[in-house]
């Protein structure tokens, strides 16, 4: 076996190893947290039980909708924490503002976001 064949075998073997390792390390879930507020979602379509399903019982989730709804949960939970401490936690306020901007594309301050929340959960198809 010449050197080029050995390099090719090592390359593809390494690539396969990295793919398998990535699959093992990524269980198919994503999570986001602000302080004690945390919510997770599935990266793959799964059967879920939710009032947001068309029949209000169960449906197949859309990963993008599931992620959006999880982020809204975190934002609203963080707003409750911010309101309880009178918006004095600068880091918490900053994280609320960053998440709000990533969800909506708009900038606002934490107190405005939390006193008049304009983000809503999306319905599943």
Indicate the domain borders of the chain: 28-115
User: What's the average pLDDT block by block, 10 residues per block, for the chain (125 residues)?
Assistant: 73 60 66 95 91 90 95 97 96 97 95 92 92
The C-alpha atoms of residue 98 and residue 73 are separated, in whole angstroms, by 15
Question: pTM for the whole thing?
Answer: 0.76
3-state secondary structure of 24: helix
| C-beta of residue 93 within 8 angstroms of C-beta of residue 74 | no
């Amino acid at each position: 076996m010449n050197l080029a064949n050995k390099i090719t075998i090592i390359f593809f073997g390494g690539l396969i190893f990295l793919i398998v390792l990535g699959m093992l390390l990524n269980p198919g879930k994503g999570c986001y947290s602000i302080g004690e507020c945390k919510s997770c979602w599935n990266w793959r379509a799964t059967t879920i039980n939710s009032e947001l399903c068309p029949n209000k019982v169960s449906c197949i989730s859309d990963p993008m909708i599931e992620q959006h709804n999880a982020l809204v949960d975190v934002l609203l939970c963080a707003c409750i924490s911010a309101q309880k401490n009178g918006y004095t936690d600068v880091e918490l306020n900053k994280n609320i503002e960053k998440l709000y901007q990533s969800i909506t594309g708009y900038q606002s301050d934490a107190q405005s976001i939390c006193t008049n929340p304009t983000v809503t959960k999306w319905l599943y198809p």
